[in-house]
Amino acid sequence: MWWELIEQIFPYAIAYTIPLLITALGGLYSERSGVVNIGLEGLMVIGFFTSAMTISRLETTLPPGVAIGLGLVLATLAGAVFSLLHGFASITLNANQVISGTAINMIAGALTVYLARHITGSGNILIMNGLIRRNIPVLSEIPILGRLFFTQTYVTTWLVLAILLLSWFLLYRTPFGLRLRACGEHPQAADSAGINVYRMRYIAVMLSGACAGLGGAIILVTYAGEFNGTVAGLGFLALAALIFGQWKPLGILGATFFFGLASTIANVSQALPALAKVPGIFLKNFPYVVTLLVLVFFSKTTQAPRAAGEPYDKGKR
């Protein structure tokens, strides 16, 4: 019985994990370059909105697959462009990064709902076609693993996992990654080695915006199906997962999957005889309390990029 349960929960847990994972990856780029990006939540909303707009406009004339694909691409671009606001404030103007990020969140939330309300009247944008879950041929036949990982999957799941792999390679195996990380650890040293710190940070912030925008779009095309103006704190959760995962791609994968699984269990607990007795208040709060405990646990040995949150001051070199 337990096994069946796990098999049933798994696709939902993965569906919930993926937007978190890609957004946290975005946060990784930004913080590794030394810019704290609290605006991930708002950037997700931008992607959420852009994809909803694009898909709802195009799906009547184009085949659904093309419309969804375009929606994802445009959401990614919109996230990258919108993140420039954060980049300009925190990199060029040396503004307080937390405040700038908060402003991004508020602007994104207000602006998108304003526009959505202007367009649809209700503030919600519905799309008719979402992504369809598919079984992967051959691989889904593998016993145990096949059932867990290769049945009922979204194509975006594989896209995001590919980006995760690529990000790991980019950050740890290329000169670009080394430079980017140097800007987050000791920007003065990076600068004196001839790296343009401002440029690297701009690239990183735009990558984080692109990832968060994609994350918002994935929410729409997988489980939401409708833009409603908020991603309900997922951006903040991604930020927590970034710390929980200790600023490492694999750590982030583990942390976001933990959140995905815990939230899914809390959501379906009423249907599970074994968990129905546990009060919902404990299940729902579980991920947040664990995050706090993990933060305490890691506080002594934190792997945080040393210059994250500090504006780069050339004069300090």
Per CB under 8 A, residues contacting other proteins are 38, 85, 88-89, 93-96, 98-100, 102-107, 109-111, 113-115, 117-118, 123, 233, 236, 239-240, 243, 279-281, 284-285, 288-289, 291-292, 295-296, 299-300
By beta-carbon proximity to other proteins, the closer residue of 61 and 299 is 299
Is the alpha carbon torsion for 108, 112, 113, 114 positive or negative? positive
By beta-carbon proximity to other proteins, the closer residue of 11 and 305 is 305
Using CA atoms, how far apart are residues 270 and 78, in angstroms rounded to an integer?
A: 38
Supply the minimum distance, in Å, between the C-beta of residue 189 and other proteins: 23
Supply the minimum distance, in Å, between the C-beta of residue 155 and other proteins: 30
Supply the minimum distance, in Å, between the C-beta of residue 113 and other proteins: 5
By beta-carbon proximity to other proteins, the closer residue of 150 and 244 is 244
End-to-end CA distance of the chain: 62
Supply the minimum distance, in Å, between the C-beta of residue 221 and other proteins: 25
Using CA atoms, how far apart are residues 49 and 124, in angstroms rounded to an integer?
A: 9
Supply the minimum distance, in Å, between the C-beta of residue 239 and other proteins: 6
By beta-carbon proximity to other proteins, the closer residue of 43 and 72 is 43
Q: How far is CA 8 from CA 136, 149, 225, in A?
A: 17, 11, 21
Supply the minimum distance, in Å, between the C-beta of residue 26 and other proteins: 16
Using CA atoms, how far apart are residues 299 and 278, in angstroms rounded to an integer?
A: 30
CA angle 262, 212, 175 (to 5 degrees): 110
CB 22 within 8 A of CB 264: no
By beta-carbon proximity to other proteins, the closer residue of 63 and 280 is 280
CA 146 to chain centre: 26
By beta-carbon proximity to other proteins, the closer residue of 98 and 275 is 98
Candidates 108, 142, 101, 129; CA nearest to 221 is: 129
